[in-house]
Structure 1
């Protein structure tokens, strides 16, 4: 036993000795240096990209410095000794400008146990280009790719295309792929980043979305990010199981999307057991959809709870499934969506006709062959619309692919509509619409979320309700509005 313990200590000490900090300083460094001290720092991204990093190594960029090009580090850490990229010194975060020369300014390709923090990243080319990103995390024919952390980054000025079908673009893309070796991420964390002025999207992903090739990423956490001035999708996990999306703020949307191009705030696609909670989405202005939240197709067991939604042009939430493709590998259905204890204020305010020739913006849009949708204990405030022609609909059931939702529960919701909002049933089947508190009596001038909750907290549907207390506590602590 003593021999084993001594061997373990020796291995630990060896690991600590072998780990190296490398310093990079564009102002005072030199690529002929060893890079192992601040006085002997490297100068360029090129030098960093040439080095195969070892477990426990760190690459530290001098505060206030700026670099042009792509950062594409090599090497992987271990569970015990991750590789880190960060900053040192006082001043602004180091900035890396891709200049639109590569698809991404920061590319983490086939590396694991890797953490990147506290950098500014841009990727603005002379002209817009599809598939342009600030950051790409990509694993290909790799197997299980463990523990990637992106934290404290500011990603901005990424000029992709607004059109999704032409490639779009985003601040962050993660992608797992490969025909030889099934590959996925395990423990991918996107935390406390600031993304703004990127086209088209903020955070999106690609993976094995077909059920015939199903190999979902696991333990994905997207938390604490601030997303501003981005016109398209905010956060979209694809081909994941158990993703947690919480404490993110999406705001200050831009009306620059092409006619008919759809986007929404936070939504999973082809993902299971997604939990979306304690987020705030406001001012989404996509030409189509434009809701704060969405449970999209090929998704099972999505839970959307304790969120705030306000001033979103397309409404509070979309729950949908494409009847034309139901049963195909990319669409096994949208089943068991739960929407509960959310607060929606003044959603559904699209000020012009969408491509369906309507001012289309129901607070709840429920469409296509859905199964077992449970909507309960939500609080919805619908003031009068600013333009008389704007539609005033609480919930609209539609067909998508000539199929309507089945087995929907809409109960115990609190709705205050200044002018009675319509409920459009279409041909939906097995709807339980009961025990909702719907009234026109309310102070519709009040838009402060915590004051709205204070006005309703003694309602019998909410009083002494532990789940409502979670929503209340979140709204109470939300400082970015």
Structure 2
């Protein structure tokens, strides 16, 4: 490049650097092993030179964009501050690049980036791959990014932004996992993971976590995963991410309090397109978590012989709200709430051809279901709940080639189902819940049910053998703009006379003093239209 232009760019970058913060540059061609790394003209050459740095608040590690860096970056016992975080990113000097990011190749490493006992860290604008490389002596997993506390303390403000994490596998190509591995609860073998936050340390809290505008694609197991001990992960924000072709779930959180998951696009979770993948997983699922809002996401094409819904609420949760999402072509189904869950809801969502899986075909050991309340809370525990489940103003479309299946556990208590549209063009069937310890037939003990005022395409859409029945069903064709389409606007009803202001106000269930922790009356529909003083039917308001 032109020398004058290069030195001018260097001067501009240096002039923007705070006098008390240090930038450490890494360039595989211009760098040397004996450079200080603190000047663009004298960068480090490899990631190995970063391991002994004594980083201070405001410092940055910057990798040359357009280049590949073999190895790993590890920050341990390093903290920035709220106003001066430590940054790991890319830098560009010279001609513009099509993708102005550096690439970390962590093949053979445990992680692309590992943060241990770290806080106030920003990782942004990087590509990370870790495609196998052989077994690891001290780890049974390989991660694009792994964040974990190992000692008691308060670790907060971790931000991951504009990362592209792809091709993360523990094994090299060609392995066979065996037919039974996909039937285990979460997989029992070694896998590659996209982004993981793990806090199993007593006395440690991990909080204020943001994952934004990231891409996670083609990894062996889960794309973005949180694993907390006794709700030791708090205040997570996942915005505008794309999670594609994961071998396991797209997004999963356990032991999390206060989560907001918004505007994410998750497709082909549970992908079987590589033998190293698990081959099963919902687009998103929660376990042992509280106060989680999951909204305005797309959950598409989940695959697997069990689970694999668009978004499901596993057991031991409370106050999980699933709203304003678009769910389509997910083998396991649409609404799935398991046992020992309290005050959870699906509202103002659209579901298209979910639950198409047929038990006994292609290895499936669970039926797909458009609606499933399950009392399952582990193999060793009796069935219990769920309690105070709210399901209202959803639009469900199932084409004539799919048998729409529904299961309601007799241990459930507190159920509101109202103002929904069930457009089921084919047959419907009541089935038993079929988790690992399947539900058994018997007398129902369901109490506190408000099941009323839902619109059905035909009288048989809700099977007679389901334990609860609509007390005031409506029958009619909403006249969707393009039934079967994959856009939200395809489900705008043309037959407004049977939709407009035909809903009922949603009130708390009998003996429920909580309702939904963010309120029962949302101001808008899935498109942002105001709901007005009386709700319509389905997810889209027409008044």
| TM-score, with length taken from structure 1 | 0.83
- Are 2:163 and 1:153 aligned? yes
SS at match of 1:243: strand
Larger mean CA deviation between 449-458 and 333-342 belongs to 449-458
Larger mean CA deviation between 140-149 and 159-168 belongs to 159-168
SS at match of 1:41: coil
Residues 242 and 359 (structure 1 numbering): CA distance in 2 closer, same or farther, change over 3 Å? closer
- Are 2:249 and 1:240 aligned? no
Say which structure is richer in helix: 1
Partners of 1:464 and 1:471 in 2: CA distance: 18
Partners of 2:122 and 2:169 in 1: CA distance: 25
Q: Is the 8 A contact 2:248 2:278 kept in 1?
A: no
Larger mean CA deviation between 309-318 and 88-97 belongs to 88-97
- Are 2:34 and 1:17 aligned? no
The equivalent residue for 1:290 is 308
The equivalent residue for 1:47 is 49
Per-residue deviation, residues 131-164 of structure 1 (Å, max 9, x unmatched): 2211101112141101000111110111147751
- Are 2:130 and 1:123 aligned? yes
Q: State the Cα distance separating 1:176 from its structure 2 match.
A: 1.4
- Are 2:117 and 1:96 aligned? no
Q: Is the 8 A contact 2:219 2:277 kept in 1?
A: no
Q: Is the 8 A contact 1:51 1:73 kept in 2?
A: no
Q: State the Cα distance separating 1:252 from its structure 2 match.
A: 3.4
- Give 1:177's match in structure 2, choosing from 200, 206, 210: 200
Partners of 1:448 and 1:374 in 2: CA distance: 25
Note the 1:310-389 alignment, pairs <5 A: 310-321=328-339, 333-350=340-357, 353=360, 360-368=367-375, 369=384, 370-385=386-401
Partners of 2:199 and 2:278 in 1: CA distance: 29
- Are 2:278 and 1:278 aligned? no
Partners of 1:258 and 1:103 in 2: CA distance: 16
Residues 310 and 144 (structure 1 numbering): CA distance in 2 closer, same or farther, change over 3 Å? same
SS at match of 1:204: strand
Partners of 1:464 and 1:374 in 2: CA distance: 14
Partners of 1:359 and 1:383 in 2: CA distance: 20
Per-residue deviation, residues 233-254 of structure 1 (Å, max 9, x unmatched): 1111111111111111001342
Partners of 1:341 and 1:220 in 2: CA distance: 23
Gaps of 5+ in 2: 1-16, 172-176, 182-186, 376-383, 433-440, 459-476, 506-520, 530-543
- Are 2:272 and 1:255 aligned? yes
Q: State the Cα distance separating 1:358 from its structure 2 match.
A: 6.4
Q: Is the 8 A contact 1:367 1:405 kept in 2?
A: yes
The equivalent residue for 1:77 is 80
Partners of 1:349 and 1:404 in 2: CA distance: 25
Q: State the Cα distance separating 1:467 from its structure 2 match.
A: 4.4
- Give 2:404's match in structure 1, choosing from 384, 389, 392: 392
RMSD, aligned CA: 2.9
Q: State the Cα distance separating 1:413 from its structure 2 match.
A: 0.7
The equivalent residue for 1:144 is 154
SS at match of 1:18: coil
Residues 145 and 103 (structure 1 numbering): CA distance in 2 closer, same or farther, change over 3 Å? same
| TM-score, with length taken from structure 2 | 0.74
Partners of 2:38 and 2:134 in 1: CA distance: 39
Q: State the Cα distance separating 1:261 from its structure 2 match.
A: 7.5
Q: Is the 8 A contact 1:177 1:184 kept in 2?
A: no
Partners of 2:109 and 2:305 in 1: CA distance: 29
Q: Is the 8 A contact 2:253 2:289 kept in 1?
A: yes
Q: Is the 8 A contact 2:342 2:389 kept in 1?
A: yes
Partners of 1:30 and 1:296 in 2: CA distance: 52
- Give 1:455's match in structure 2, choosing from 493, 507, 510: 493
Per-residue deviation, residues 262-303 of structure 1 (Å, max 9, x unmatched): 521112111111111111010000221110011111111111
Gaps of 5+ in 1: 1-14, 209-213, 322-332, 475-481
Q: State the Cα distance separating 1:345 from its structure 2 match.
A: 0.8
- Give 1:166's match in structure 2, choosing from 189, 213, 238: 189
Residues 463 and 207 (structure 1 numbering): CA distance in 2 closer, same or farther, change over 3 Å? closer
Partners of 2:342 and 2:236 in 1: CA distance: 21
The number of aligned residues is 432
Q: Is the 8 A contact 1:29 1:41 kept in 2?
A: yes
The equivalent residue for 2:438 is none
Partners of 1:39 and 1:311 in 2: CA distance: 53
Partners of 2:317 and 2:168 in 1: CA distance: 30
Q: State the Cα distance separating 1:435 from its structure 2 match.
A: 0.7
Larger mean CA deviation between 260-269 and 374-383 belongs to 260-269
Q: State the Cα distance separating 1:472 from its structure 2 match.
A: 1.4
Partners of 1:354 and 1:57 in 2: CA distance: 56
Q: State the Cα distance separating 1:357 from its structure 2 match.
A: 6.5
